[in-house]
Structure 1
């Protein structure tokens, strides 16, 4: 093993013009035209510094593991800034063979009614600032935080899983088929 000290990873992210980033201890607050969000970096071992519209991410050690963690933190910050600036869109398709499925939103919940003829609706929670709109046989999810939009889509798809039947034959459900950066109007 060499006695030479390896260089510690450090990267600087240039914050876009319309986005404001502040750091309060371990909490990173990001504010943009589409809304506000925050991320807690307390359990992520990196050093963060916000200065002159730039965010500096620095690994705490020179090992490969900490290099990877610092790159992940950099990616998280970039995704948060892109989200409050452009937003994210996911489209899901409603598939049914016999019983027509209806999707409604109410009080922060997505209600999937008449799934395989069931009388009680299947319920999925809407995460964060995600907006859910049902248009015919499509469900469109939009929002500024990628984690919230994708988790809401995953919850809807998981709630419409076919139970006690062969899933190769009974293909009913709501499935994601389209994902893009930017909010579709």
Structure 2
């Protein structure tokens, strides 16, 4: 069973420009460009990434569990890259507070959270990669081409508002993720 080859194919829309250089996939689309390197010294010789027509193919020389799972991981990343280059990703977050009004601002590549539970200093969260943060009155929108950058930026903001040494049932202040969407408005499952 280990001598069977594994192959995963991903369809590429016509409006995208895909370049594959060894283990690096670069996708250019209407929303922007995204690039990711999948080289790993443990598996580089056993997995090959190529393009045939309007498909990206990931081929492994073996049916081992680690190789199979790595093929699936690369295919999932490629699908996310295609989705980001065609329509982009948008995460929505909501600001909750009970007594002290939280003010949020964006400065350089940081989100600053002020007056959190009455604190004097500002809490900061890093904006990862090319993600953009749009601040509303009580809402935040994180927009970007890479789902990883958008998701990690949302996680950084949520973690910056973490309350310690207080009862979470009473002190529910914070900034929380309320939805994951494509920029077209379609909701992402998960």
The TM-score normalised by the length of structure 1 is: 0.91
Write the deviation string for residues 15-65 of structure 1: whole angstroms up to 9, x where unpaired: 111111112232211111111111111128331012333211012311233
- 1:139 lines up with 2:136 in the alignment: no
CA deviations on 1:117-169 (whole Å, 9 max, x unpaired) are 11111111111111111111111111111000000000000000012212221
Structure 1 stretches of 5 or more lacking a match? none
Residue 108 (str. 1) matches residue 105 (str. 2): no
Q: How many Å separate the matches in 2 of 1:178 and 1:155?
A: 16
1:175 and 2:176 are equivalent in the alignment: yes
Give me the whole-angstrom Cα distance separating, in 2, the residues matched to 1:146 and 1:117: 33
Question: What residue in structure 2 maps to residue 7 of structure 1?
Answer: 4
Partner of 1:160 in structure 2?
Answer: 161
1:67-116 CA-to-partner distances (Å, cap 9, x unmatched) read 22211111110110110101111111101111000110011110111111
| Counterpart position of 2:34 | 37
Per mean C-alpha deviation after superposition, the further-off stretch among 16-25 and 87-96 is 16-25
CA distance in 2, matches of 1:97, 1:5: 59
Equivalent pair of 1:59/1:69 in contact (CA under 8 Å): no
Say if 2:76 is the partner of 1:79: no
| Equivalent pairs, count | 181
Whether contact under 8 Å (2:88, 2:182) holds in the other structure is: yes
Matching residue within 15, 24, 34 for 1:18: 15
Distance 1:64 1:121, change over 3 A: same
| Cα distance between partner residues in 2 of 1:5 and 1:119 | 61
Q: Which runs of 5+ in 2 are unaligned?
A: 186-190
Q: Which residue of 2 aligns with 1:130?
A: 131
